[in-house]
Structures are given as C-alpha cells and as structure tokens.
C-alpha cells in the first residue's frame, strides 16, 4: 500500500499530515539564555528568574523535515488576508535511527520486526513512523514524526511555508496520524469530578443513581 499520495496541483493549500522540507526548528536554554536588553546590552540570563528589560532572545535553529499537525480547516487561507485561521503547528521529523537507536533494517526480516514495534499507538504513543520515499531528486529516509517536538508558525506565514510541501499522506496514512495524535494527547483522563462543585457533583451522582434504578425496573 502506498503511504504517500500524489502532490496537489500548484496553488493548493496545506492540509494536516503534509510533510515540509527545510522547516526552521528553534531552541534556546531557559537558564542560560542569550538576551538583548532594551538598553541594547547583551548578557546571559536565567529567564525563568528574571525577565526584566528583555527585548530579544537569541535562539539556535535547525532546518529539517516537519509534518503539519494543525487541522486542515485551520489551514484554509482567509479570503481577505490570505493567512491561516490559527497558528500552524508542525512536528519535527527525523531519521528513525536518530529517534530509536535499536531500529534495525539491515534485512527485510529486521525491518519488519522494527516497524511492528512502531506501528501501533500503544507501543509508540509519541512517534509516528514514516516509510522511506524516493522519486527524482526527492530522497526521504525512514523517519519518525515526534509529536512532542513541535514548532509554532505564525498564521500569516502560511503563504511562505506552503512552497516547502514535498509529500502528502494518503487517506489511510492521514487517519493513522490522527489516531496517533488522539492517543498521544488524549490518553490521560481527568478525574470525573474535576470540573464540578460539590453540589454539582452530588447532582450528577443523584441523576446516575436514578438512571440505574430505572434500568432495573
């Protein structure tokens, strides 16, 4: 089965699951940040303890593959501005061997065993496995999308990142991404009474008790 779908025609917008090349992922240290102050001075500072007069923070940047996590409806350009409707969330994609050192694919048998360990959300809740792909000048190695390593891109930058599109997931692969996102971000349940006052929770319990009694009759 093909994991990737044909690329859209020129002028198409992005959708959830699209793979982008050369996405800038930025990083900085909270306890040793290089900051520029409003006075123009530059210093190293723990910005968790002191944010006074900070105007800019220097960041490190790495360019690499990313996969769009934002829902497709939020990526539709506003007809007036041309911008996305919300900030765009992109997860970092790295070669699978960088994410899992024990991933083996020297033989087909090795590859099957390694992929099985990543194929279901229960075994790999935060990483979506992405098969290799080659066509013309495009070479995409076996990779993994780390759903907890993300970059937020401003909504107004949608027209600028759209040309970075290189691969699009076909429907079954997109569904697998959506399942992984639901498992990764929704697998921790809140206590049933978390959002209610004591009186409200007592009312819920009373209603449940009445429902159980009516079912027994």
pLDDT per position as a tens digit, 151-168: 999 999 999 999 999 999
- 66 vs 128: CA distance, rounded Å: 12
Is residue 106 scored above 70 in pLDDT?
Answer: yes
At 78 the pLDDT is 87
Place 11 in a pLDDT band, splitting at 50, 70 and 90.
low
| pLDDT value of position 189 | 63
DSSP 8-state symbol, 32: T
DSSP three-state, residue 74: helix
pLDDT above 70 coverage of the chain, percent: 97
Q: Which distant-in-sequence residues (6+ apart) come within 8 Å of 121 by Cβ? A: 179, 180, 183, 184
Question: pTM for the whole thing?
Answer: 0.82
Cα 13 to chain centroid, rounded: 18
94, 105, 184, 186, 201 from 189: Cα distances, Å? 30, 36, 12, 7, 17
> CA neighbours within 13 Å on the CB side: how many for 77?
16
Whether 115 and 97 have beta carbons less than 8 Å apart is answered as: no
- Mean of per-residue pLDDT scores for the chain: 91
Phi, psi of 113, deg, nearest 5:
-65, -40
**181-211 per-position pLDDT tens digit:** 988 887 556 678 888 889 988 999 999 899 8
What is the number of other CB atoms lying within 10 angstroms of the CB of residue 169? 24
Which residue bears the tokens 């401003």? 154
SS3 of 4-46: the string is: EECCCCCCCCCCCCCEEEEEEEEECCCCCEEEEECCCCEEEEC
Angle at 195 between CA 192 and CA 197, to 5 degrees: 105
pLDDT of residue 9: 73
Instruction: Among 14-28, 105-119, 133-147, name the one with the lowest average pLDDT.
Output: 105-119
Q: What is the pLDDT of residue 1?
A: 63
* Residue with more model confidence, 107 or 215: 107
User: Averaged over 9-28, what is the pLDDT?
Assistant: 90
Question: Does residue 82 have a pLDDT over 70?
Answer: yes
Q: Where are the domains of the chain?
A: 4-186
């Amino acid at each position: 089965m093909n994991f990737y779908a044909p690329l859209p025609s020129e002028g198409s917008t992005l959708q959830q699951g699209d793979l982008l090349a050369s996405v800038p992922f930025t990083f900085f240290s909270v306890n040793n940040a290089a900051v520029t102050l409003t006075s123009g001075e530059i210093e190293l500072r723990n910005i968790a303890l002191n944010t006074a007069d900070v105007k800019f923070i220097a960041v490190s940047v790495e360019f690499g593959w990313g996969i769009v996590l934002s829902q497709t409806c939020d990526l539709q350009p506003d007809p007036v501005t041309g911008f996305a409707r919300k900030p765009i969330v992109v997860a970092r994609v790295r070669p699978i061997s960088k994410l899992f050192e024990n991933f083996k694919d020297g033989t087909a048998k090795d590859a099957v065993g390694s992929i099985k360990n990543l194929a279901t959300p229960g075994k790999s809740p935060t990483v979506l496995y992405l098969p290799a792909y080659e066509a013309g000048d495009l070479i995409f190695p076996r990779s993994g999308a780390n759903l907890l390593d993300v970059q937020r891109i401003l909504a107004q930058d949608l027209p600028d990142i759209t040309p970075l599109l290189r691969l699009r997931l076909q429907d079954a692969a997109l569904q697998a991404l959506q399942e992984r996102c639901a498992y990764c971000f929704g697998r921790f349940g809140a206590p049933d009474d978390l959002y209610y006052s004591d009186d409200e929770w007592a009312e819920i319990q009373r209603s449940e008790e009445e429902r159980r009694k009516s079912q027994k009759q």
